[in-house]
Amino acid sequence: MVDRVSEFDGQVAFVTGGARGIGRACCLRLAAGGARIALNYLGNDAAAQETRRAVLDAGGVCELFKADVGDAEALDGAVRAARATLGPISLLVANAGMTRLFDHSELTLDRWRESMRINLDGAFLSIQAVKDDMLARGGGSIVCISSIGALRPRARQIDYCAAKAGVIAMARCFAEALAPAVRVNVVAPGPTDTDMLAELDQSTFPARIEATPLKRFATAQEVAETVAFLLSDRSSFTTGQTVVLSGGAVMLP
């Protein structure tokens, strides 16, 4: 039986968008498994420090690395600093993302490009920043956070859904390209009880919960547990897969 308290001992996890929500939950869960946490974030210094304190208070190791995931030079610098501070990175959670609601008439090219820059380019650049070192060291595990928005139409999230669908396709291609040394998988959550829910149309929540077989939204901790499973040796024969966490609202295949 796997000892989940020590399954990530000796490993460094780089978590993008780690200050809040799903990213924070991933930092806490991976630290609980023994990983040293390189927490990447962009703007919320207070939230990043709060997450770091929570990891430290639980007996873990966490350092902060501030960088825009859509800026290749800044992100590369953060990854280099993380390696220098904590050691080689063997685990990556490409979690950073953003969403806003726009009618198609409001979706300008600039808004489209910004969504792609953060949600899709950010995941791509995160993998690019760690993959060569993982390959050189002979192993690594990557999980990208997508969304059930990638799997169903949403009239007011055209840009976000397109970007998150791109994350799934990109991860599949990287899974084949980086095999057998590095595994790449995806978690696609449905609505999750985080700050990002405030960006969505809350008037639809009762109907969405009613249409969900499990009759609720996910918790960030549930998403983090699935991320930990996919990063760990418990999923050692799994790569290129998308795990949907939607309470049954979306089912694959």
241: pLDDT strictly greater than 50: yes
* Least confidently predicted of 119-128, 176-185, 203-212: 203-212
The model's confidence at residue 204, banded by pLDDT at 50, 70 and 90, is: confident
The model's confidence at residue 5, banded by pLDDT at 50, 70 and 90, is: confident
202: pLDDT strictly greater than 90: no
48: pLDDT strictly greater than 80: yes
- Helix axes 158-178 and 109-116, enclosed angle (nearest 10): 30
Q: What is the mean pLDDT of residues 93-114?
A: 96
Please, are residues 242 and 190 in contact by the beta-carbon 8 Å criterion?
no
Report the alpha-carbon distance of residue 181 to residue 141 in Å, rounded: 9
Structural domains of the chain sorted by starting position, each given as residue range(s) with its CATH number in brackets: 12-241 (3.40.50.720)
Task: Please state, for a pLDDT cut of 90, what percent of the chain lies above it.
Answer: 91
Active-site annotation holder among 8, 41, 160, 174? 160
* Terminal-to-terminal C-alpha distance of the chain: 30
2: pLDDT strictly greater than 70: no
The model's confidence at residue 185, banded by pLDDT at 50, 70 and 90, is: very high
Global pTM value: 0.95
3: pLDDT strictly greater than 70: no
The model's confidence at residue 196, banded by pLDDT at 50, 70 and 90, is: confident
41 is known as an active-site residue: no
Q: What is the pLDDT of residue 1?
A: 45
Q: What is the pLDDT of residue 198?
A: 72
200: pLDDT strictly greater than 80: no
Strand order from edge to edge, sheet including 36-41 = 61-66, 36-41, 12-15, 89-94, 140-145, 182-189, 242-245
- Helix axes 122-137 and 158-178, enclosed angle (nearest 10): 10
Q: What is the pLDDT of residue 62?
A: 98
Q: What is the mean pLDDT of residues 245-249?
A: 95
Q: What is the mean pLDDT of residues 2-31?
A: 93
